[in-house]
Amino acid sequence: GAVVSQHPSWVICKSGTSVKIECRSLDFQATTMFWYRQFPKQSLMLMATSNEGSKATYEQGVEKDKFLINHASLTLSTLTVTSAHPEDSSFYICSASKAGVSGEQYFGPGTRLTVT
Amino acid sequence: QQQVKQSPQSLIVQKGGISIINCAYENTAFDYFPWYQQFPGKGPALLIAIRPDVSEKKEGRFTISFNKSAKQFSLHIMDSQPGDSATYFCAANYGGATNKLIFGTGTLLAVQP
């Protein structure tokens, strides 16, 4: 168990448009979901933490108006990159944790975003 | 205090050898220490994890050694195989309401046949 999916796996969009990435926990209820960003050959950088039904908590330096996060249910969180620019091109990865299990996070396969 | 320092940055091991990756932390509030394996273009996969009440955990060819007093933990991959070639990240978790993972910088492991 503990499978997390992401859709799409890769997306190309034009500068100035918005793109939505979905993250789903397939076989468990995710009380908390996390969104990370990863540049080539670098570690994962936490962007925000979201709890079902609550506003997301953004890490310092992450623009909340640019990276809109919605956690509408216990199995779905979405990240919308608004007015995307080439510098937003990156690998976006979500993870999810189960209720009552401290620390364990299960990661999705990632979404490669390229902004042209 | 929020950092997790990981070394080495890269590692080359011969097939059948032992791969050892080390991590160190400062914050004693961390209560969960996982290791993740990541292949190019994929998300990280949980490999093995340990909590500070034990000093060692073994799962198959993978072992975590944990030294609470030294605030260090390491991953040992026994009988390393070419299929183990990947990037490995250690991490530490605060637990509680935050439940955030702090990641190390990663180690690129290459196992030569």
Average pLDDT of chain A is 93
Q: Is residue B104 less than 8 Å (CB to CB) from chain A?
A: yes
**Per-residue confidence band for A53, with pLDDT thresholds at 50, 70 and 90:** confident
Q: Do A103 and B95 count as a contact with CB atoms less than 8 A apart?
A: yes
For residue B100, the model assigns a pLDDT of 87
For residue B94, the model assigns a pLDDT of 76
Q: Do A103 and B31 count as a contact with CB atoms less than 8 A apart?
A: yes
For residue B6, the model assigns a pLDDT of 97
| Candidate from B41, B42, B103 with C-beta closest to A44 | B103
For residue A1, the model assigns a pLDDT of 72
**How many other C-beta atoms are found inside a 10 Å radius of the C-beta of residue A3?**
13
**Per-residue confidence band for A6, with pLDDT thresholds at 50, 70 and 90:** very high
Distance from CA of B101 to the nearest CA of A (A): 7
Token readout for B17 is 């050898």
Q: Is residue A40 less than 8 Å (CB to CB) from chain B?
A: no
According to DSSP, residue A102 is labeled S
Residue A81 predicted with pLDDT over 90: yes
For residue B19, the model assigns a pLDDT of 98
Read off the pLDDT of each residue in A28-54 and give the average, rounded to a whole number: 92
Q: Is residue B95 less than 8 Å (CB to CB) from chain A?
A: yes
**pLDDT tens-digit series, residues B34-91:** 999 999 999 999 999 999 999 999 999 999 999 999 999 999 999 999 999 999 999 9
Q: Is residue A90 less than 8 Å (CB to CB) from chain B?
A: no
Amino acid at A16: G
Task: Please provide the DSSP assignment of B27-68 as one string.
Answer: -TT--BEEEEEE-TTS--EEEEEE-TT-SEEEETTEEEEEET
For residue B97, the model assigns a pLDDT of 63
Please measure the distance between the N-terminal and C-terminal CA atoms of chain A and give it in whole angstroms.
37
Q: Do B41 and A43 count as a contact with CB atoms less than 8 A apart?
A: no
B12 vs A29, more confident: B12
For residue B91, the model assigns a pLDDT of 96
Read off the pLDDT of each residue in A4-20 and give the average, rounded to a whole number: 97
**Per-residue confidence band for A103, with pLDDT thresholds at 50, 70 and 90:** confident
- Chain A residues lying within 8 Å of B43, measured CB to CB: 4, 6, 93, 95, 107-110
For residue B98, the model assigns a pLDDT of 67
Tell me the C-alpha to C-alpha distance, in Å, between residue B5 and each of A61, B43, B75, B103.
Answer: 22, 21, 13, 9
For residue A99, the model assigns a pLDDT of 75
**How many other C-beta atoms are found inside a 10 Å radius of the C-beta of residue B84?**
18
Which of A21, A44, A107 has the most B C-beta neighbours within 10 Å, making it the best mutation to test the interface with B? A44
* Cα Dmax for chain A: 42
**pLDDT tens-digit series, residues B91-105:** 999 766 667 899 999
Share of chain B above pLDDT 90, in %: 86
Residues 6+ apart with CB under 8 A from A79: A20, A21, A23, A35, A47, A67, A68, A69, A92, A94
